[in-house]
Amino acid sequence: MHTAVIGAGPTGLYTAIALARRGHEVTVIDRDPGPDRDGSWNRKGVMQFHHPHGFRQQVVEALLAEMPEVWDDLIAAGAAPTTLPDQPGRVVGVRCRRLIFERVLRSAAEAQPGVTLSTGHVDDVCCERGRAVGVRMDSHQVDADLVIDASGRAGQSTRTFRGPAEGGDCGVAYVSRQHQLLPGAQNGPMNAPFGMVAIYPGYLAIVFIHDNRTFSTLIARASTDRQMAALRFQEVYEAASRAIPSLAAWTEPDRSRPITAVLPGGRLYNTYRGQLNHAGQVAANGLIFVGDAVCTTNPSVGRGVATSLMQAQRLVCLLDDHRRDFTSCSLEFDHWCAENIKPWFSDHVYWDAELIRRWSGHDVDLTRPLPSDLIMAATAVDPEMLKVVGPYLAMLALPASLAAVEPRAREIYASGWRPPVPDGPTRDELAALVTSVSARSAGCR
């Protein structure tokens, strides 16, 4: 069977390798030609490529299940397993820049018999009598028995085959920068397995540890907070990083040096789009969507590659089961995604809306169900809740599992307790700093 995969991101590459190992001839088409000879990679069209990625346990498990040598190659390339301080033997993710992750996965795809990587832009899916028979790439047709759309959150070529996406802008905007620890320098302070998180009323500051002594700093703000938009300028970002204690500790000149420009993020979305068209039917037998093409979530808790590879893993198994009955495969995959992936989207939609509401000055709303972030925060008061919250946090239990401890969290908030705010500038103080540094440096830009 010849399968065409649109998109050589994590989902497309993973799916292609796994299908080739099951006997498919796979052509993966991406407009991006791959890394340069020196290993650098501009990756236009995937705006998040150089932004920090935290890779979760599900990503590690997906690799180990289908392509364990890719895991070994990642470690050889300098990636480090993420472990918990009290359970050093348990791997809960991998610390790695997306550049390294994708370079290693791409090399595995290039070396995989049965996979061909092809550079070009897919304009359309070719159909005959309701069945996908290939894709139109630049000016010619690539024939295929099965077309898999792994074109990510920005993919456009198959829009007309599905109903509209649910969701929209998640309300949060990112600015980040990559850094390298200096020789002999130790990591800065950490309060999470992947680095350091500081949550302020009005913004977030996060450090993600990567491979080879690199790390990223990140400041996330409300996308409507125009005053903070100037964080994308280097002088402003540096001044803000010096003012936020957790970022300052990591970026002090004796500890590290920046290795990229300050990276502004594009718009971030919570969206979900199943397999079906406006009429609730599979529009083309043999055209299946997977990865970010199905679900994108606010990246600040790093669920995107996990939900993408969980989907890819499920899809390759279903293709085995359903053989050439692609319509029944699409329907079963759609059902599985609705049960196992969509809840993560819905979780973020509610969480983000409530977070933005609180960031604009409102208190916790006890007249409505508590969002997941507030339930998680309440474990600081009642650690017993971690028995339920821990599996959710690790994405081993769906968001609905939190209902068991929501009443306890509600009691905690009803008593007047609120999550403690870390040391550092308030949103208004940070915004004032952003405005003044931006005004001072405007003349130099």
Ligand X SMILES: Cc1cc2nc3c(=O)[nH]c(=O)nc-3n(C[C@H](O)[C@H](O)[C@H](O)COP(=O)(O)OP(=O)(O)OC[C@H]3O[C@@H](n4cnc5c(N)ncnc54)[C@H](O)[C@@H]3O)c2cc1C
Q: Which residues bind ligand X (CB under 6 A)?
A: 6-12, 29-32, 45-46, 48, 51-55, 121-122, 150-153, 155, 157, 174, 265, 268, 291-292, 299, 302-306, 308
Which residue reads 């008593």 in tokens? 415
Cα–Cα dist 336/322, whole Å:
14
Q: Which stretches does DSSP call E strand in 227-354?
A: 256-258, 263-264, 269-272, 287-289, 295-296
Report in angstroms how near the CB of residue 353 gets to ligand X at its nearest. 19
User: Cβ 231 to ligand X, closest distance in Å?
Assistant: 14
Judged by beta carbon, residue 22 or residue 121, the one nearer ligand X is: 121
| Shortest reach from residue 93's CB to ligand X, in Å | 9
3-state DSSP call for residue 328?
A: helix
Nearer to ligand X among residue 30 and residue 354 (C-beta)? 30
21 burial via Cβ count (<10 Å: 0-12, 13-18, 19+): middle
| Residue pair 171/353 in contact by the 8 Å Cβ criterion | yes
Q: How many other C-beta atoms are found inside a 10 Å radius of the C-beta of residue 68?
A: 10
Nearer Cβ to ligand X, position 122 or 244?
122
Radius of gyration over every alpha carbon of the chain, rounded to an integer in angstroms: 22
> Smallest distance from the beta carbon of 266 to ligand X, in angstroms?
7
Q: 302: closest CA among 135, 71, 82?
A: 82
CB of 154 to ligand X, least distance (A): 6
Nearer to ligand X, 340 or 441 (CB): 340
Nearer to ligand X, 147 or 385 (CB): 147
Q: Whose Cβ is closer to ligand X: residue 295's or residue 405's? A: 295
Cβ 343 to ligand X shortest distance, Å? 16
Q: Looking at 107-202, which runs of residues are DSSP E strands?
A: 115-119, 122-128, 131-137, 140-143, 146-149, 166-169, 172-181, 195-200
**Cα angle, residue 327 at apex, residues 319 and 59 outer, rounded to 5°:** 40
In angstroms, what is the minimal distance from the CB of 358 to ligand X?
22
Name the minimum Å distance from CB 109 to ligand X: 12
- Scan for tokens 């925060």, then name that residue: 377
Q: Residues 273, 174: contact at Cβ < 8 Å?
A: no
Judged by beta carbon, residue 105 or residue 385, the one nearer ligand X is 105
Angle at 332 between CA 326 and CA 335, to 5 degrees: 140
From 160, 149, 166, select the one nearest 287 (Cα to Cα): 149
Q: Are 285 and 131 in contact (CB under 8 A)?
A: yes
Identify which of residues 9 and 188 has a Cβ nearer to ligand X in the complex.
9
What is the spatial distance between Cα 144 and Cα 132, in angstroms, rounded to a whole number?
8
Nearer to ligand X, 315 or 433 (CB): 315
CB contact at 8 A, 220 and 300: yes
Distance CA 58, CA 270 (A): 20
Shortest CB 33 distance to ligand X, Å: 10
**Closer residue to ligand X in complex, CB, 59/405:** 59
Instruction: Please report how close the Cβ of residue 1 comes to ligand X at its closest, in angstroms.
Output: 21
User: For tokens 């085995």, what's the residue?
Assistant: 320
Alpha helices by DSSP H, listed for 367-405, are: 372-377, 386-393
Element holding 204 (H helix, E strand): strand 203-209
Taking the complex as a whole, how short is the minimal distance between the CB of residue 53 and ligand X, in angstroms? 4
Task: Kindly tell me which of 96 and 282 has the beta carbon lying closer to ligand X.
Answer: 96
